[in-house]
Amino acid sequence: MRYGGRKEIIGFSLLHRPIFAFRCGHGYPVGIVQAGIHAREWITACLVMEQIRLGVSRGTVWFLPLVNPDGALLSACGTDSVKEERRRKYLLSANGGSDFSLWKANAAAVDLNVNFDARWGEGLYNIRFPASANYVGPSPFSEPETRALRDFTLRVRPQYTISYHTLGGEIYWHFHQSFLRSARDKRLARVLSDLTGYPLKEAAGSVGGYKDWCVEKLRIPAFTVEVGDGVHPLGREVLDDILRHNLFAVREFSAQWR
């Protein structure tokens, strides 16, 4: 799409595809909205592109529609999206077959949303070998995509972040905050819940995500919004329902910030 505002490349994926950020608005508060970090959840990128077109009425929001471009293409197109034969064989082995429709990871078979330095590797479902999902990687921030998102976040210094995932229609906000920060973050999470119609939930046993890192290390409110109903992978047939709940959510959340 054509975009008249500020757009920049914040980094590159393992296979050297650009990761884009689009800025909407100016001033305080500053937020980051990221999507597509899980490959099979590419429908969240479609949501964020529509939110970019809508824009914001107050504050600044940086939108990152597709943090995991290699994985999204792999999920949609299989190994036809990978040029190097050795990489194709590695991915086929990690996946256990040629159907990549449920693939979550990047092109190194690392699940990017367990690769952040927030109690890394301590999750209930974390694994230590390459796979379509849940592999934490050899170390925190081992992947170029997570490093790009980390470095961009530290540079922008947002007041909040929102991460779009699928599915279930619920919002996660808690990650070992202190009492005072927990009260602040839950109040803001309730605003987002009212705007989307999604209830607040706990993600027991989940660690190492971008939201977790923002909460624990940056001490800012951060939210994971699980959009859509059905079974993975959600396709364009559910986009209208996702937009009904979420299209105006970021715009209104920024406008109601206090």
Which tens digits make up the pLDDT trace of 63-98?
999 999 999 999 999 999 999 999 999 999 999 999
Calculate the CA 100 to chain-centre distance.
19
At residue 103 the predicted structure's pLDDT band, cuts being 50, 70 and 90, is very high
Measured in degrees and rounded to the nearest 5, phi and psi for residue 147 equal -65, -40
**34 inside domain:** yes
DSSP code of residue 216: I
At residue 169 the predicted structure's pLDDT band, cuts being 50, 70 and 90, is very high
Residues 107 and 74: beta-carbon distance below 8 Å: yes
- Residue carrying the six token digits 């699928």: 166
**Domain assignment of residue 44, given as a range:** 7-255
- Among 110, 143, 117, which Cα is nearest to 207's? 117
Residues 9 and 19: beta-carbon distance below 8 Å: yes
Half-sphere CA count of 85, side-chain side, radius 13 A: 0
- Mean of the per-residue pLDDT values for the chain? 97
Calculate the CA 252 to chain-centre distance.
20
**89 inside domain:** yes
| pLDDT greater than 90 at residue 3 | no
**1 inside domain:** no
**106 inside domain:** yes
* Average pLDDT of span 18-40: 98
Secondary element (H or E) of residue 187: helix 179-196
At residue 116 the predicted structure's pLDDT band, cuts being 50, 70 and 90, is very high
**2 inside domain:** no
List the CATH number of the domain containing 12: 3.40.630.10
**49 inside domain:** yes
pTM (global) more than 0.85:
yes
At residue 2 the predicted structure's pLDDT band, cuts being 50, 70 and 90, is confident
- Strand segments, DSSP code E, in 5-143 are 7-12, 18-26, 30-34, 59-64
**74 inside domain:** yes
| pLDDT greater than 80 at residue 1 | no
| pLDDT greater than 90 at residue 220 | yes
Number of domains in the chain: 1
Half-sphere CA count of 6, side-chain side, radius 13 A: 8
**196 inside domain:** yes
* Average pLDDT of span 137-161: 98
Beta bridge partners of 226: 165, 170
At residue 140 the predicted structure's pLDDT band, cuts being 50, 70 and 90, is very high
